[in-house]
Amino acid sequence: MDEFFKKLLFLDNVLKGIGQIMLQENRWTGLLFLIGIFMGSWQCGVAVLLSTAAGTFTAMKLNYDRSEINAGLYGFSAALVGVALAFLFQTTLLIWILIILGGVLAAVIQHFFIQKKIPVFTFPFIIITWVLVFMLHHFTHIPPSEMLSSEVVPSEYDDFLTCTNGFGEVIFQGGILSGIIFFIAVFISSPVAALYGLAASILGAGLSQLNGEPIQEIHMGLFGFNAVLSAIVFSGIKKTDGLWVLTAVLITIAIDDFLIDNHCLDIVGGVFTFPFVAGTWITLLIQKVFMKSKS
């Protein structure tokens, strides 16, 4: 019975880790994310399970704080490493091995920053994936995944689908249904976070369109997903929360558009969630300075 309970607890931690991709400590959110990922690609679904399980298992074996493990804090960066590699490359044996190793490394790096009390969000995923993508491109001949050229794009402009696609692209899913499921998954955990995220995706799409970004990529949610994450971080029910959300989203969109327009990170596979992390760090710094000036 104890063994069954341990397995159940491990699965719960894995699902919460997947939910934490959009900062939701909720097993049902994680389960819906997983369903949405599998609908887009079984390879991505298996990769997320493997990498999240690897990260969570590593945290348990290294005796990291039990409450942090139970909250899924060692799963989300690991999950993103897994889905990124399965999305970008054909899943050869080497890619499966790297998916597991990347999950392990993500947990270790995440722990280092948690110990230092530095809010790094998805930064471990970004660093690991940049390094792996660079090495795979330069030292192997593994072909790109077929998913890269088969993203589902609406034939006509649709504001709602464009904005829910912003949710989908957080986890590399371009399918319309996956984006809607991800939005619902966040909504059942935190309606406020989901609605702020939707508003941020609208703003990201709108401002990027004004900036002359490619319409097709805007429709796919590629200029909205970083804004979604930044909005979720600062979401809340206070009036001031809205101001911080707006600040974070505008900074994130500006960084996102600048990096993409100037092809700054093409050599390592793209921007991933770096604009979200950078925009959130800058906003937290502004927030800290503002709070000090008030006191």
Tokens of 288: 């800290």
Task: Report pLDDT digits (tens) over 234-284.
Answer: 999 999 999 999 999 999 999 999 999 999 999 999 999 999 999 999 999
Q: How many CB atoms lie within 10 A of CB 263?
A: 9
pLDDT at 141 over 60: yes
Tokens of 54: 């690897």
Q: Are 31 and 181 in contact (CB under 8 A)?
A: no
Name the band, by pLDDT with cuts 50, 70 and 90, for residue 218: confident
Q: Are 183 and 164 in contact (CB under 8 A)?
A: yes
List, in order, residues 6 or more apart from 284 with CB less than 8 Å away. Answer: 119
pLDDT at 152 over 60: no
From residue 36, alpha-carbon distances to 153, 191, 274, 278 in Å are 17, 19, 23, 27
- Stretch 140-168: mean pLDDT, rounded? 73
Task: Report pLDDT digits (tens) over 77-112.
Answer: 999 999 999 999 999 999 999 999 999 999 999 999
Kindly tell me the burial class for residue 131, based on how many C-beta atoms sit within 10 Å of its own C-beta (0-12, 13-18, 19 or more).
middle
The span from the CA of 199 to the CA of 260, in Å, is 22
C-alpha dihedral, 223 to 272 to 251 to 284, nearest 10°: 140
Q: Are 252 and 279 in contact (CB under 8 A)?
A: yes
Name the band, by pLDDT with cuts 50, 70 and 90, for residue 126: very high
- Stretch 17-46: mean pLDDT, rounded? 97
Q: Are 85 and 98 in contact (CB under 8 A)?
A: yes
- Stretch 186-199: mean pLDDT, rounded? 97
Q: Which amino acid type is present at position 11? A: L
The span from the CA of 110 to the CA of 120, in Å, is 8
